[in-house]
Structure 1
Amino acid sequence: MDLHYLHDIHHPESKLFPPHNIVDTSGRELYGKVGKLYETIKAQPNVHFIDKTRYDSFFGTPLDSLLRERSINQVEIVGVCTDICVLHTAISAYNLGYKISVPAEGVASFNQKGHEWALAHFKNSLGAEVEQHV
């Protein structure tokens, strides 16, 4: 989960985007279907809530180690923004050898062209299964 600190002028995103996902604010809450799912499974011992401070969920986090320790070789990526955080995470997953699936209903962006480009990139360049809306 994306994590930022209020007034952190040293984080590279502070020059690119307005403050978002600030620690200890409602901006970090999961919502919708993902929030409901997390509420039902969060107490299970195999569920981990991992904070990240960069676009890529693998960078500087224990995600790769946790997956490999459990012999998990496939990831399903959901989140925002399709063409930023989801994209960088998918590229790392690909480079680390994971099979990737991205449910189109589980990703979004404020940039519709970027969203559509990223969905095509996942499929055409990363070999990901992109599950379309039904």
Structure 2
Amino acid sequence: MNRALLVIDYTNDFVATEGSLTCGEAGQAIEETLLNLLETFAINQDEIVMAVDYHQLNDRYHPENKLFPPHNINGTAGRELYGSVQNWYDAHQRDKNVFWLDKTRYSAFAGTNLDMHLRERNITEVHLVGVCTDICVLHTAISAYNLGYKIVVHEAGVASFNQAGHQWALSHFKASLGAEVR
């Protein structure tokens, strides 16, 4: 199949109770869905991309520093994948269809080789899960739309610290990006 699962920012800083920019219980509640999707995509030999926010401590040039507290700092536990997703990744990171992607902007496509990586593998459909629905998942979906990918968002696999933003983004995926929301 020509599809990829993009797991966006499912890290300790965004999900763990003590994370520096956490969506807390909402993010923790999607862990089982993510694990089920990871297993399904792995069994089918579909592409899996762990798209993970990457920041340097005290980077005064990064625009997010004016908006959010420091998070996902390189070399910290906050940047590790959350819970059982980290265990899954540890067991599968050498699989040929599992790809780690450092990203420095909301969209997993911005400033990365993700589009080239997917096109080399003839990927035409991206499945999006992770956090935050109305920030990084949304911006990744907009980029995917602009690049011509079919978009599937797994509603039980996305979460945010802003419930109103989460609901708005789910509607926006369908109404403005033509995404399938499952």
Query: Counterparts of 1:93 and 1:119 in 2: how far apart (Å)?
Result: 15
Q: Which residue of 1 aligns with 2:116?
A: 65
- Give how far 1:43 is off: 1.1
**Aligned residue for 1:94?**
145
Closer, same or farther: CA 41–64 of 1 in aligned 2, 3 Å: same
Unaligned 5+ runs, structure 2: 1-51
Structure 1 CA distance, aligned partners of 2:133 and 2:87? 21
1:16-65 Cα shifts (integer Å, max 9, x gaps) = 00011010011111124533432332111221101000001001101000
Equivalent in the alignment of 2:92? 41
Q: Which has the higher strand share?
A: 2
After superposition, the Cα gap between the structure-2 partners of 1:25 and 1:108, relative to the gap in structure 1 and judged at 3 Å, is same
Aligned position for 1:119? 170
Cα distance in 2 between the residues matched to 1:33 and 1:78: 15
3-state SS of paired residue (1:77): strand
Write the distance in 1 (CA, Å) between the matches of 2:102 and 2:58: 18
Partners of 2:172 and 2:83 in 1: CA distance = 26
Query: Residue 127 of structure 2 corresponds to which residue in structure 1?
Result: 76
Q: Find the aligned partners of 2:85 and 2:147 in 1 and give their Cα distance.
A: 25
Equivalent in the alignment of 1:19 = 70
Instruction: Report the 3-state secondary structure (helix = DSSP H, G, I; strand = E; otherwise coil) of the residue aligned with 2:108.
Output: coil
Please give the alpha-carbon distance, in whole angstroms, between the structure 2 residues aligned to 1:54 and 1:119. Answer: 21
Which one is further off, 61-70 or 78-87? 78-87
What RMSD over aligned residues (CA atoms) do the two structures have, in Å? 1.2
Identity of aligned residues (%): 66
- Where do 5+ consecutive residues of structure 1 fail to align? none
C-alpha distance in structure 2 between counterparts of 1:37 and 1:26, whole Å: 17
Deviates more, 1:121-130 or 1:84-93: 121-130
When normalised by structure 1's length, the TM-score is 0.92
Residue 59 of structure 2 is aligned to residue 8 of structure 1: yes
Bigger RCO (CA 8 Å, 6+ sep): 2
Q: What residue number does 1:29 align with?
A: 80
Aligned partner of 2:14 in structure 1 is none
